[in-house]
């Protein structure tokens, strides 16, 4: 059986693991992302993490064939370059991600592949998670931001400019206050992310005149559970906006199954129930029976999906060097 390293590189932490050809994450490690130290420092730390896992895999006689990365930002998957990124990672835009990692690891450039982290997440769920066995799936993640991916016939739809999946950045009628559209982190206004993300819930609580301190989104949920009506309203509005957006996307794409993921999806029925109600209210009659499921793989989804890029190149639509090239490079590094 072949194995690969999957990397989930986000703004706060970077997780990586050894993944089997059957999609099982055998072991993994996590480090903080050096998000304020520049791209070179991040690549150095990520390469050290991957190198450690490769050494551990080799000690257990596991045949690692390459490295797949799911990264924050818009990723040009053909060149392995970060086209654009938010300020969550300083200086990340323009980073030669795959070439930089390959050089640090002493690997052939074709042994390292990358996509956006939400695409990797969706690919993992389509492989062995809540969308396994389906011909198409739409995954939308609600957390610090709002992102998504449409997986069709086992391949994430990346878009002509690799910006596919930015589902937080279209208009939502909920994203306004006093008849003015809410500003969005992308520089636009009135977008889904401006009302339906985790930080947007805390901002809405303050904007609506919440009387108790709310340091973060988790605190707003705690206040709602304690009977704070303003907190409950902020959460309910965000959930309704999320559901309406996902329902509209389902109408456009007609996926076999819809998956909802992210920190808010894990927050319980207070968010999930109004979200799903709004989603189903938005659906066309032909889609009324569409399954809507929570993602099931948790933190391992993006690791597995990233590894699949090299374990099954057909899922990526690009060629990757075989085990012999990778193994030769590793042997050369040790000699």
pLDDT digits (tens, 9 = 90+) for 173-192: 999 999 999 999 999 999 99
Q: Are residues 327 and 283 part of one domain?
A: no
| Amino acid 106: pLDDT | 96
Question: Does the residue 46 lie in any domain?
Answer: yes
One domain for residues 162 and 268: yes
Range 237-253 burial, b when 16+ CB lie within 10 A, else e: bbbbbbbbbbbbbbeeb
Q: Residue 172's domain is classified under what CATH number?
A: 3.30.420.40
> In the sheet that 2-9 helps form, which strands lie side by side, from edge to edge?
25-32, 13-20, 2-9, 63-71, 112-116
Residue 242 lies in a domain: yes
Full DSSP string of 178-237: TTEEPB-TTS-BSBTHHHHSHHHHHHHHHHTT--S---SHHHHHHHHHTT-HHHHHHHHH
Q: Given this model, what pLDDT does residue 315 score?
A: 65
User: In terms of residue numbers, what domain contains 140?
Assistant: 135-294
Number of domains in the chain: 2
pLDDT grade for 324, boundaries at 50, 70 and 90: very low
- 324 and 205 in one domain? no
Whether residue 318 is predicted with pLDDT greater than 60 in this model: the reply is no
Q: What is the predicted pLDDT for the residue at 326? A: 52
Judge if 290 and 304 occupy the same domain.
no
Mean residue pLDDT of the chain comes to: 93
Domain-embedded: residue 49: yes
Q: In 3D, which of 206, 178, 181 has the Cα closest to residue 192?
A: 181
Band (154; pLDDT cuts 50, 70, 90): very high
Distance between CA atoms of residues 150 and 118, nearest Å: 10
Same domain, 155 and 288: yes
What predicted TM-score, i.e. pTM, was given to this entire model?
0.92
Domain presence at residue 10: yes
Query: Residue 215 — very low, low, confident or very high, per pLDDT cuts 50/70/90?
Result: confident
Whether residue 198 lies inside any domain: the answer is yes
Question: Do 181 and 73 belong to one domain?
Answer: no
pLDDT in tens, 22-43: 999 999 999 999 999 999 999 9
* pLDDT band at 335; cut points 50, 70, 90: very low
Same domain, 328 and 259: no
The verdict on 161 and 102 lying in the same domain is no
Would you state the pLDDT for residue 321?
Answer: 38
- Whether the pLDDT of residue 306 is over 70: the answer is yes
Same domain, 218 and 244: yes
In a domain, 149, yes or no: yes
The answer to whether residues 303 and 208 belong to one domain is: no
**Do both 146 and 290 map to the same domain?**
yes
Same domain for 289 and 148, yes or no, is yes
Mean pLDDT over 315-320 rounds to 50
Q: Which residues contact 42 (CB under 8 A, 6 or more apart)?
A: 9, 14, 33, 34, 35, 89, 92, 95
């Amino acid at each position: 059986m072949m194995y690969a390293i999957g990397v989930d590189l986000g703004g706060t932490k970077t997780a990586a693991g050894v993944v089997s050809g059957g999609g099982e994450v055998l072991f993994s490690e996590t480090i903080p992302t050096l998000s304020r130290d520049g791209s070179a420092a991040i690549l150095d730390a990520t390469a050290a993490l991957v190198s450690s896992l490769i050494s551990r895999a080799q000690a257990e006689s596991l045949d690692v064939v390459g490295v797949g990365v799911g990264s924050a930002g818009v990723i040009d998957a053909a060149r392995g370059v970060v086209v654009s990124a938010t300020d969550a990672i300083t200086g990340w835009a323009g980073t030669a991600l795959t070439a930089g990692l390959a050089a640090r690891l002493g690997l052939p450039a074709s042994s390292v592949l990358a996509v956006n982290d939400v695409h990797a997440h969706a690919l993992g769920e389509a492989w062995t998670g809540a969308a396994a066995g389906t011909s198409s799936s739409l995954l939308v993640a609600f957390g610090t931001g709002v992102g998504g991916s449409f997986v069709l016939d086992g391949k994430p739809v990346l878009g002509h400019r690799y910006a596919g999946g930015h589902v937080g950045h279209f208009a939502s009628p909920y994203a306004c206050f006093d008849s003015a559209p809410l500003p969005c982190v992308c520089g636009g206004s009135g977008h889904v992310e401006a009302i339906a993300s985790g930080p947007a819930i805390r901002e809405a609580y303050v904007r609506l005149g919440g009387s108790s301190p709310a340091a973060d989104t988790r605190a707003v949920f705690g206040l709602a559970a304690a009977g704070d009506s303003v907190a409950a309203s902020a959460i309910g509005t965000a959930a309704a906006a999320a559901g309406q957006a996902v329902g509209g996307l389902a109408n456009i794409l007609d996926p076999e199954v819809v998956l909802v993921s992210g920190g808010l999806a894990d927050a319980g029925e207070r968010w999930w129930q109004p979200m799903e109600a709004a989603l189903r209210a938005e659906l066309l009659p032909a889609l009324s029976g569409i399954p809507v499921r929570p993602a099931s793989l948790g933190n391992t989804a993006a690791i597995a999906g990233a590894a699949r890029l090299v374990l099954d190149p057909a899922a990526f639509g690009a060629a990757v060097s075989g085990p012999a090239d990778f193994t030769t490079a590793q042997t050369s590094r040790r000699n």
